[in-house]
Structure 1
């Protein structure tokens, strides 16, 4: 994976990928490692249990708050300084959770911590696409997806283990310290990709920031049907998985009365399936274009969600629900990085702004959709969760059909 588009050596490539991977992992870990302790958080802060999914959804919505501004700012000032600011903000807000004494302050900090996710989407993802050629960029996006999925896969188990020795406050403090180390890694190894001459002769030109011009560009993007379909589809495709992450503590621990360890173990099949899908994507990239990959991925994606809906109708237990989610998760893993690439290159506009709006739309859909599923009873019964999660995920199909119809076969080819 040495086909970089800018002139950096192998050591810097490795350090950049490692620091970027660690930052993304931490932004997800800050949510998932604390999930087993969320009932303890609400008890200690004297809050209602409804704040368990609310805190998770606020974290997702925090990722949307600044993306609209971060993308255009990074187009002018560069990806590197913006990502350094983002990692610092994330680390400080994690450390501040150690001192919180109310659920309102806790939720506010969850929102601020979620902004770190916004920096990942709006700043680091475009940088990755600009450093590497297309096939390698898609592979690295899938790899980052795998690493990020280690958080919901191992995060609950790690949280259970850490809670044997640490309080939830001390876990946040540890996350903040780890974010400090990541900041050092980004400072040492992250290259600048804006305003730099590429090896193919092109230059990622700096785009001067202007409020009026920025909103005009956003308006043009919102009028681009292919971009809008891809961005909305990204959010809806991930909605069942996001709803599962947010509601699993209530469904498994509170409703089904499983132990925290059993709750953690039941996460393994679902997130292992997403990783398997990402690995299949890496192999299929050698012989298939991205639209072809998405078409293949829709088979396990739709099958899993239809089985999940059947579980709701038949009143199936936990094992069939998790098995259905796992089939769906294979399709999600195969398609997510490919659909993101199709969204990013659906327009010739600068990738910072495009990535920002893509992230805003997709994360808003996931956050609001997860909140809606929780509000209509998704956390009270397994059948309700299965039905609403399946319907939410299947809503992406008309969008995917439109996207594939308007994407030419040579767009985003493997090489």
Structure 2
């Protein structure tokens, strides 16, 4: 990989990438691996099954809660110490889930665990953008995203298998122990990105921390139409997939009375398609701009969502819906990392602050959109879900059209080898 600002050995580069990937995978696995056990959790607590979707959406909302502060803090004090703090917080929340006795406490811990996702978005993503050049950063985000996608792909299957031998409390204990290992890896290999020497020999000072300046920075971002459009588009494009993750246990295991193992198998086509889309993105970056890649991705993206709406009118809803979701997911995988890069460089503000705002807006759209789909009947049957999720995803097209007409031009930074 090519980079300039931070001198790292090949071993540190590999260890750094693996550690960030492991933390991202862990934060997603804490959600997806537990999903097959959620009906057991609600049953043990004598709680309504609506808490299955609520727990998932609270996890997403938790990713938003602290991002407004995490990003600017990492601009001021460095990405490394903030990510170490986030990993520790996540591990403690997983440990606390082992002894919880009420569904309200369980949901509160899901909110705190979701904050780990906020540290991934607001801290680790900007670090990759700062350490590597544009093409390498997009490739890394796509390839690391493939590893993270192994969670919703393998998480339900792994969770279903583990439930044969372990309780859901023991699964949380395993996540807590794994977070300790990840923390040690981050401590050993993650570089610091503040107070580094630039190519001109001068030092790059940390960004001053001021709540007033943070507020003004966020206000400026809210006035940036291109940035807002790109961030909301990120959330709307992912909404059908997020809604599927949150409602699939209810739709398949409760409504259709499928086993946890069969439920996990139905996830494979969807998330395998996202991974395939990310691999295609790596190939397309060779001869296409980011805007051109997104334009190509719109073909499977729109075709899949239209197919999902058509599945709402069919009696064979499950195979058609999964097939349509897979086609849509192919387009999502081809475009997501490229769109994130365009959103990040839609503003010249500190990348920790910008990344935090991207995360807050996109995750808020996904969390609130997923909750709305569940509230208005998306969890009642597959036909309702297919219609609502398909229409929800298509809402991104006007915003995406405006963005692609005048795409921002990310600066080509960090291109020399040090």
Instruction: State the alpha-carbon separation in 1 of the partners of residues 135 and 248 from structure 2.
Output: 35
Instruction: State the alpha-carbon separation in 1 of the partners of residues 348 and 202 from structure 2.
Output: 13
The answer for the alignment partner of 2:156 in structure 1 is: 156
The answer for the alignment partner of 1:74 in structure 2 is: 74
Matched, 1:381 2:381: yes
1:71/1:330 Cα in 2 relative to 1: closer, same or farther (>3 Å)? same
Q: Verify the 8 A CA contact 2:27 2:116 in the aligned structure 1.
A: yes
Tell me the CA shift for residue 407 of structure 1.
Answer: 1.2
Q: Verify the 8 A CA contact 1:341 1:412 in the aligned structure 2.
A: no
The answer for the alignment partner of 1:363 in structure 2 is: 363
Q: Verify the 8 A CA contact 2:21 2:147 in the aligned structure 1.
A: yes
The answer for the alignment partner of 2:401 in structure 1 is: 401
SS of the residue 1:314 aligns to? coil
| CA RMSD after TM alignment | 1.5
Segments of 5+ residues of structure 2 without an aligned counterpart are none
For residues 267-306 of structure 1, the aligned pairs below 5 Å read: 267-306=267-306
The answer for the alignment partner of 2:107 in structure 1 is: 107
Q: Verify the 8 A CA contact 1:7 1:198 in the aligned structure 2.
A: no
For residues 39-188 of structure 1, the aligned pairs below 5 Å read: 39-188=39-188
Q: Verify the 8 A CA contact 2:2 2:133 in the aligned structure 1.
A: no
Q: Report the TM-score when normalising by structure 1.
A: 0.97
Tell me the CA shift for residue 104 of structure 1.
Answer: 0.2
Tell me the CA shift for residue 5 of structure 1.
Answer: 3.7
Matched, 1:348 2:348: yes
Tell me the CA shift for residue 412 of structure 1.
Answer: 6.5
1:48/1:345 Cα in 2 relative to 1: closer, same or farther (>3 Å)? same
Tell me the CA shift for residue 195 of structure 1.
Answer: 2.2
The answer for the alignment partner of 1:31 in structure 2 is: 31
SS of the residue 1:230 aligns to? helix
Tell me the CA shift for residue 204 of structure 1.
Answer: 5.1
The answer for the alignment partner of 1:320 in structure 2 is: 320
Tell me the CA shift for residue 402 of structure 1.
Answer: 1.0
Instruction: State the alpha-carbon separation in 2 of the partners of residues 32 and 365 from structure 1.
Output: 19
**Higher mean C-alpha displacement, 2-11 vs 238-247:** 2-11
Instruction: State the alpha-carbon separation in 2 of the partners of residues 154 and 191 from structure 1.
Output: 30
Matched, 1:260 2:260: yes
Tell me the CA shift for residue 145 of structure 1.
Answer: 1.1
Tell me the CA shift for residue 162 of structure 1.
Answer: 0.7
1:95/1:60 Cα in 2 relative to 1: closer, same or farther (>3 Å)? same
The answer for the alignment partner of 2:22 in structure 1 is: 22
Deviation digits for residues 166-206 of structure 1 (CA, Å, limit 9, x no counterpart): 10000000000000000000000000012212458686541
Instruction: State the alpha-carbon separation in 2 of the partners of residues 317 and 216 from structure 1.
Output: 49
For residues 182-197 of structure 1, the aligned pairs below 5 Å read: 182-197=182-197
Deviation digits for residues 5-46 of structure 1 (CA, Å, limit 9, x no counterpart): 421111110110010000000000000001000000000011
1:62/1:207 Cα in 2 relative to 1: closer, same or farther (>3 Å)? same
**Higher mean C-alpha displacement, 315-324 vs 213-222:** 315-324
Matched, 1:9 2:9: yes
Instruction: State the alpha-carbon separation in 1 of the partners of residues 271 and 201 from structure 2.
Output: 41
Instruction: State the alpha-carbon separation in 1 of the partners of residues 236 and 316 from structure 2.
Output: 24
Q: Verify the 8 A CA contact 2:232 2:361 in the aligned structure 1.
A: yes
1:132/1:204 Cα in 2 relative to 1: closer, same or farther (>3 Å)? farther
Tell me the number of residue pairs that the alignment of Structure 1 and Structure 2 aligns. 414
Instruction: State the alpha-carbon separation in 2 of the partners of residues 192 and 255 from structure 1.
Output: 49
Segments of 5+ residues of structure 1 without an aligned counterpart are none
Instruction: State the alpha-carbon separation in 1 of the partners of residues 201 and 310 from structure 2.
Output: 54
Instruction: State the alpha-carbon separation in 1 of the partners of residues 334 and 411 from structure 2.
Output: 15
**Higher mean C-alpha displacement, 199-208 vs 149-158:** 199-208
Q: Verify the 8 A CA contact 1:2 1:10 in the aligned structure 2.
A: no
Deviation digits for residues 333-391 of structure 1 (CA, Å, limit 9, x no counterpart): 00000000000001111100000000000000000000000101111110110011011
The answer for the alignment partner of 2:219 in structure 1 is: 219
1:198/1:312 Cα in 2 relative to 1: closer, same or farther (>3 Å)? farther
Q: Verify the 8 A CA contact 1:36 1:249 in the aligned structure 2.
A: yes
The answer for the alignment partner of 2:307 in structure 1 is: 307
